[in-house]
A and B are shown apart, each in its own frame.
Chain A
Amino acid sequence: MVALQIGVNTAITAGLVAVVGQSFGALSRCAGTFNLAVGASVTLGGYLFLAIIRSGAGFELALLGTTVACVLLGCLVELLVQRPLRRTGGGELPMLLGSLAIYLIVENSVSAIWGQRILSFRSGVSERVQFVGVSVTLRQILLLISCLLVYVSVELWLRRTTVGKKVRAVGDNRGLASLVGIDADRVSLIVAGVGFGTAGVAGILIGWEVDLRPQMGFYWLLSGTVAMVVGGSSRATGVLGAALGVSLVQNLVAYVAGSEWASPATYLLLILFLWWRPNRHADRSLLGTP
């Protein structure tokens, strides 16, 4: 029974980690550097949704408003920060630092506006379902389905549509993609919008299951980073498989040693994997290497 319950908890956490890891992976691969501002979009998504809901608007309007705001944030970050930094030709570090600065500004603005208090919008479908001794709420089932829907939609967009193929082309070789007529700047703008929008939706889903804290983006960003680094973005199942692995470790550690050790286990996993992982793999993955 305990194993089954851990399995269910793992699946729910993995869904959230996979969505964050996927948006982080898509953005990072297209830009050729890690985009830490994804963490800010996760935080902003959760808080904006809460603010809109509390203002009396309905669920659909809150979802739409939050997603649009996060897409706009992504586009603004790309147009005002990442693109000018890319054009300076300084490589990946300035862009990474730029994304860190955006993360700082957004996260601390959220903290200044809403305060450090833990907030929550965990409401709605909270009936528990008992199935072979495993307890799960309807909300968690809906959450898992939502995560899978978002993940599969973005994967299909990346792999099956023309724009998605252009995104992958720019990610593989920006210069070559430009040579064959792909507007790399436009593609980067689209990816920024989709990546930040997805991260914002992830923020809503996280807020639905876990409480909101201004620093929540950092934890989910690092969890998503582990999934992205371990799983890579070469195959659709890469990030998802790695997210399952990361979440399993978190839940097992929480069960054995206590929930306060779940986060350190994630960080340790990240360090150990980066340690062990030879840099020649770069964006390839254990699960996704062709």
Chain B
Amino acid sequence: MATYLLHLAVMVALYILLAQSLNLMMGYTGLLSLCQGAFFGIGAYIAAGLSLNGVQDLLVSVLVCAVGGWLGAWAFSLPLIRIGGGYFVIFTLGVQALVISALRNFVGLTNGPLGIGGIQRGTLAGVEIPSDGPLLIFAVILAALVHWLLRRILRSPVGSTLKAIREDEAFAESLGYDSVAFKRHIFSLGAAIAACAGGVYARYTTFIEPGSFELSESIVILTMVILGGLGSLRGAAAGALLLVILPELLRVIGVSSSAFASLRQVVYGCIILLCLLAWPRGLMGEIGVGELQPRRLR
């Protein structure tokens, strides 16, 4: 039981990181991204590669994951200058599918669908991490640090600019703000945070495979943000907490493990619909989903 609770606690901390990363992009900047799972995976594979090549320091590993996630997102963010609204969502779907396909197909690098095992928990300040307990503490501290950092950013003039871009991009640009540059930085920062979570996840599970980072993972993160409420750091954290714990009830009522993953996604779909139709601000959102202002399709 204690192991199970510890596992839930680690996953809550990691999903808080992931939800914060998407909330920064979607809730504060209006970028609806469906590829957070891919950046989560990129971080995990970087951490696995580092571990298998002898780099065991957890802090170094997480920092390298952040840089890797940032660089990957920066490369993918170049088209942001040209696309917005629904096209951006489709673009991120393409990125998600492409990254997962790459993880499956570059067998020499990623071991393909079989995944990578034997990842070490790593060391902290030269001391080997003996169990999952210290990893939980590390994940909680990381989530708190990211929360604090985002709060500082969002309370600064940068935060106001992001909200201006979210509310009316043309108006923000008329005031002299380079909205594309801001969106690129936020997209990259969000990806870097997701990659950090991936780095810790790989060290925690000690085994990763592409199936853990598919579109369904991006949708879990999206649901957490919508349920928690857009534009609220506390909301994203609450959404993550709820959606890690609530689906476990499916296990309690005896749903078989084979159907669990599918039914969990059905529940997420229903939550998204419920929030869209009846509860647009979620638990503690600053704005509703309908208040995001993308460019028109036509």
Contact = CB atoms under 8 A, between A and B. Distances in A.
Nearest to B288: A90
A97 to B, nearest CB: 6
A261 B276 CA distance: 37
B114 interface: no
The 3 closest A-B pairs by CB, nearest first: A90-B290, A104-B269, A264-B101
Interface string B261-288: 0110110111011001100100000001
Contacts of A116: 258
Interface residues of B, number: 51
B296 to A, nearest CB: 7
Contacts of A85: 276-277, 290
Contacts of B247: none
Most buried by B among A172, A225, A263, A274: A274
A120 interface: no
A34 B86 contact: yes
Contacts of B276: 81, 85, 94, 97-98, 101
Given A92-B294, A111-B262, A214-B262, 16 more contacts: A91-B292, A92-B296, A93-B85, A93-B86, A96-B89, A100-B34, A102-B273, A104-B268, A108-B263, A108-B265, A172-B298, A260-B104, A264-B105, A267-B94, A268-B98, A277-B82
Interface string A226-251: 00010000000000000000000000
B97 A92 contact: no
Contacts of A261: 105
Interface in A11-39: 28-29, 32-34
20 contacts: A81-B273, A85-B276, A85-B277, A88-B290, A94-B276, A94-B280, A96-B89, A97-B32, A103-B269, A104-B272, A109-B262, A115-B258, A171-B298, A229-B87, A260-B105, A271-B91, A274-B79, A279-B82, A279-B87, A282-B298
A93 to B, nearest CB: 5
B78 A275 contact: yes
Q: Is chain A's interface secondary structure helix, strand, loop, or mixed overall?
A: helix
Interface string B215-241: 100010000001000000000000000
B75 to A, nearest CB: 11
Given A90-B290, A91-B294, A105 B269 contact: yes
B224 to A, nearest CB: 14
Interface in B151-197: none
A279 B83 contact: yes
A33 B105 contact: no
B230 to A, nearest CB: 11
Contacts of B86: 33-34, 92-93, 96
A104 B276 CA distance: 15
Interface range, A side: 35 or more
Most buried by B among A81, A93, A115: A93
B90 interface: yes
Q: Is chain B's interface secondary structure helix, strand, loop, or mixed overall?
A: helix
A283 interface: yes
A93 B225 CA distance: 15
Interface in A108-150: 108-109, 111-112, 115-116
A172 to B, nearest CB: 8
A225 to B, nearest CB: 6
A75 interface: no
A274 B297 contact: no
Most buried by A among B82, B94, B101, B280: B94
B10 to A, nearest CB: 25
Nearest to B104: A260
Contacts of A268: 94, 98
B102 interface: yes
A175 interface: no
A126 B231 CA distance: 57
A103 B86 CA distance: 16
A108 B269 contact: yes
A56 interface: no
Given A34-B90, A264-B102, A275-B82, A104 B219 contact: yes
B272 A91 contact: no
Contacts of B34: 100
Contacts of A218: 97, 215
B41 interface: no
Contacts of A48: none
A260 B89 CA distance: 25
A271 B94 contact: yes
A239 to B, nearest CB: 16
A275 B219 CA distance: 23
A222 interface: yes
B290 A101 contact: no
Contacts of B95: 267, 271
Nearest to A107: B265
A206 B97 CA distance: 20
Given A93-B289, A108-B269, A264-B101, A274 B262 contact: no
